[in-house]
A and B are shown apart, each in its own frame.
Chain A
Amino acid sequence: MKLHPYILLPFLVTGCASQAVEKTTNAAANESAEKVLAVAIATNKEANKLGYEWRDTGKWIKKAQAALKAGKEAEALKLAKKIKAAAKDGIQQAADQKNAGPLF
């Protein structure tokens, strides 16, 4: 069966549009993941400076950077948020433990 080009047109337009949306979403996520990761790395450095960096944040940073490089934006963003939260907790820990001493 031969399809008339006018029948195909809406599908073609929708297809192109969805591809464009996907590209835009990826670009936005990419930018966002990159930005969040940069903040996460800086926050982690601060935790390190205070002597309260957590063991696995360095490993997670490497994973996030690799994910970003591989174009896995969502994965990179998820990891970046995890790193940022852990680094913030480390900084909070440093403040909480400033006057640590015996409980007896």
Chain B
Amino acid sequence: MKTLTLIAAGLLGSLISTVQAAPQDDLDKFRAYFTKILPSVDFQDFGNGSYAIDQVARANWEAIEEFPPYEIDLEEGQTLFETPFANGKSMADCFANGGIGIRQNYPYFDEKSGEVKTLEQEINQCRETNGEKPYKWKKGKLAAVSAYMVYTSRGNKIDIKIPDDPRALAAYEEGKRFFYAKRGQLNFSCADCHIYSTSKQLRSEILSPALGQVSHFPVYRSKWGELGTLHRRYTGCNKQVRAQPFKPQSKEYRNLEYFHTFMSNGIEVNGPGARK
């Protein structure tokens, strides 16, 4: 009986280690793919999206960054972040290190709720806990506060962890499946554009690599004329392939963000960014 128990424990142990090895294996293959198809792009430069590929677009973007269009939002975000709530507490009280320089750890798997938590979700959670109304999800004040927090994290390397918890792995796998699944009337997946067609031209745009994409969100998009969150972009992508988008901060998008961000581990946070 004792022998049987030991064999069972051994099998379970090897199963867990195999399962935990899967995300790291995914990441290695993901990174290898991009470094193979874009050998001239420096690893950290992947955080600059298509500007790491197209030099003319890069020159334009660098000119835009001299007077960043998100500057006013950053100032607003800082003010909102530092202004105490009615109860006297502030945003800093809700986060590790007072909310400064922590973007690289988001999203993370929360063992207590058994779900993936995003930075934007915790900003609003902080407000609600302190008796304030939550912000709207896709833009405006939420994007501004998030942008400020991201700004304080610039240069920190993305460091997403998939803990040894089957629920975390399930969330990761769901996000991964979402990323690779074709959807909508046009039957396109995230991967179709941002992996297999990376650096190819779609009308006047160069498709950015999925590696490093999350590093510069929230972004100021010229198309929007304002700042928007990553989930706003997910919504837009889904609409573009004519799929019914999910709600921002839905479980689907949070799990997608979990996978998407894990794939960019090691890339420096460089948001907020400016994009067309």
Contact = CB atoms under 8 A, between A and B. Distances in A.
Interface in B2-42: 26, 29-30, 33
Interface in B168-201: 176-177, 180-185, 187, 189, 191, 195-196
B182 A97 contact: yes
A102 B29 contact: yes
A104 B26 CA distance: 10
Contact of B184 (A54, A101, A103): A54
A51 interface: yes
A89 B252 CA distance: 21
A57 B185 CA distance: 10
Contacts of B245: 55
A55 B242 contact: yes
B27 to A, nearest CB: 11
Interface residues of B, number: 25
B239 interface: yes
Given A52-B183, A55-B185, A101 B246 contact: no
Interface string A34-74: 00000000000000100111111110000000000000000
B180 A100 contact: yes
B243 interface: yes
A21 B29 CA distance: 68
Contacts, number: 57
A93 B242 contact: no
B83 interface: no
A93 B183 contact: yes
B252 A55 contact: no
Contacts of B180: 97, 100-102
B52 to A, nearest CB: 20
B182 A102 contact: no
21 contacts: A51-B183, A51-B252, A52-B183, A54-B184, A54-B185, A54-B242, A55-B185, A55-B239, A56-B242, A57-B244, A93-B183, A96-B182, A97-B177, A99-B177, A100-B182, A101-B176, A102-B26, A102-B30, A103-B196, A104-B29, A104-B33
Given A96-B182, A102-B29, 8 more contacts: A55-B242, A55-B245, A57-B244, A86-B185, A93-B182, A97-B189, A100-B189, A102-B180
Interface of A: 48, 51-58, 86, 89, 93, 96-97, 99-104
